[in-house]
């Protein structure tokens, strides 16, 4: 039974009439950039996330870049980011003019923590970017407290975590992208809510910050040919907005499907000591953009699964402090040990909602068999 890591065809098959009608609507309107479709998406997503302002942009990378540009960095200003994340988290900081400073992550949740961040804060730190990796939120309360005590900003990299939540010490349930000054989301096709191309979203509860990033996405001004700031072109296309709007009503059931698949893997791999399933924190709503285990003999397991037609992913194979392009920042092996060991242990298994229990069981059984467990 061939099982790909991701199957976008399977999702499209379930929503084809709605998506096709949405695409046609935009084609008939001949309004392709920003416009009413994009505005409708922004307000629907603001409501879904539970945040006052949602500003779309061209990608998840830009959803990080624009808030960082809005901070007008001086040379040498620093942003603390996890070493174990997708490249864009640090790349956006660099491209905005910041020096990325790398912090280690927790080996069980894969997320950066306040304890790991604190030693890296300096007089030059302007912001922290916690990443809600694989769909579970970072422990935001202590991170936000750390930032508030120093008057620095928090930008939540929620690219993989639309709809994820956590329970604050007060008992309030907060969604990804509602806690920091900004939340940044991606609509890359493989995300839980994926476009037919690129797209991103910035959330904030501050109307001035929302206005600033909205200007930065259209070259720094609301009025054509009048520029208050130097921004860029990062507008969302109406066709993408229409696809996302057609998909949004299904998102909660897709998240439930991912959670059911994850729960089944958890159970079927529980007594396999060679595989550590991801830790879900109490009170956290994980949306499993990836179901990522830590596996002994990871590369051999991956090859054996590939031989059986089972697709897997390695997110991520190189920690960011050891990326060639950041060599001048002086990152050395041995300095961020958790990130450095995760890169050779992590394996993401198929978890897309249409997978269903039979295929999940098949993948789990193949993993059990690889390690010699009946
Ligand atoms: C954690 C994280 N941050 C940022 C991004 C960037 O998003 P995009 O690919 O839409 O630019 C991604 C995309 O994979 C991501 O996973």
Q: What is the model's pLDDT at position 224? A: 87
As a whole number of angstroms, the distance between CA 40 and CA 367 comes to 44
Q: What is the model's pLDDT at position 241? A: 98
The segment(s) of the chain belonging to CATH 3.90.1150.10 are 249-370
User: Which residue stretches of the chain have pLDDT < 50?
Assistant: none
Pocket test for ligand 1, best of 85, 186, 195, 288 (most atoms within 8 A of CB): 186
Q: What is the model's pLDDT at position 170? A: 92
* Ligand 1 nearest atom to the CA of residue 187, by list position: 10
Tokens of 198: 């690129």
Q: Determine contact, residues 313/217, Cβ cutoff 8 Å.
A: no
Quick: pLDDT tens for 169-204.
Answer: 999 999 999 999 999 999 999 999 999 999 999 999
Instruction: Say how many Å lie between the CA of residue 125 and the centre of ligand 1.
Output: 23
> What mean pLDDT is reported for the chain?
97
Tokens of 3: 């099982």
Ligand 1 is surrounded, with C-beta below 6 A, by 59-61, 85-86, 88-89, 131, 157, 159-160, 186, 188, 198, 200
Q: Is the model's pTM score more than 0.95?
A: yes
Instruction: Say how many Å lie between the CA of residue 262 and the centre of ligand 1.
Output: 22
The topology (CATH level 3) of 8-247 is 3.40.640
The segment(s) of the chain belonging to CATH 3.40.640.10 are 8-247
As a whole number of angstroms, the distance between CA 306 and CA 114 comes to 38
* Ligand 1 nearest atom to the CA of residue 64, by list position: 4
The topology (CATH level 3) of 249-370 is 3.90.1150
Instruction: Say how many Å lie between the CA of residue 259 and the centre of ligand 1.
Output: 21
């Amino acid at each position: 039974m061939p099982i790909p890591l991701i199957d976008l065809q399977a999702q499209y098959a379930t929503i084809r009439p709605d998506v096709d009608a949405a695409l046609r609507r935009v084609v008939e309107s001949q309004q392709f950039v920003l416009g009413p479709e994009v505005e409708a998406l922004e307000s629907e997503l603001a409501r879904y996330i539970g945040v006052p302002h949602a500003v779309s942009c061209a990608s998840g990378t830009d959803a990080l870049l624009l808030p960082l540009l809005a901070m007008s960095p001086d040379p040498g200003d620093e942003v603390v980011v996890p070493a174990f994340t997708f490249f864009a988290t640090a790349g956006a900081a660099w491209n905005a003019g910041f020096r990325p400073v790398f912090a280690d992550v927790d080996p069980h949740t894969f997320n950066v923590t306040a304890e790991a961040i604190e030693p890296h804060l300096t007089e030059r730190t302007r912001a922290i970017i916690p990443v809600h990796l694989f769909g579970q939120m970072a422990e935001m309360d202590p991170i936000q407290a750390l930032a508030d005590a120093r008057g620095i900003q928090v930008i939540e990299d929620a690219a993989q975590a639309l709809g994820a939540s956590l329970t604050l010490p007060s008992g309030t349930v907060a969604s990804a992208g509602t806690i920091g000054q900004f939340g940044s989301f991606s609509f890359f096709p493989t995300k839980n809510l994926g476009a037919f191309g690129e797209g991103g979203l910035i959330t904030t509860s501050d109307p001035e910050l929302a206005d600033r990033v909205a200007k930065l996405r259209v070259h720094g001004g609301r009025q054509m040919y009048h520029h208050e700031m130097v921004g860029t072109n990062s507008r969302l296309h109406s066709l993408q907005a229409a696809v996302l709007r057609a998909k949004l009503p299904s998102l909660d059931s897709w998240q439930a499907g991912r959670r059911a698949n994850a729960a089944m893997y958890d159970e079927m791999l529980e007594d396999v000591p060679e595989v550590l399933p991801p830790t879900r924190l109490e009170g956290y709503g994980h949306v499993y953009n990836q179901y990522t285990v830590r596996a002994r003999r990871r590369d051999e397991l991956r090859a054996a699964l590939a031989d059986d037609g089972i697709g897997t992913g390695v997110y991520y194979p190189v920690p960011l402090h050891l990326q060639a392009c950041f060599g001048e920042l002086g990152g050395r092996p041995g300095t961020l040990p958790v990130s450095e060991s995760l890169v050779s242990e992590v394996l993401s298994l198929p978890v897309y909602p249409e997978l269903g229990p039979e295929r999940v069981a098949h993948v789990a059984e193949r993993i059990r068999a690889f390690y010699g467990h009946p």
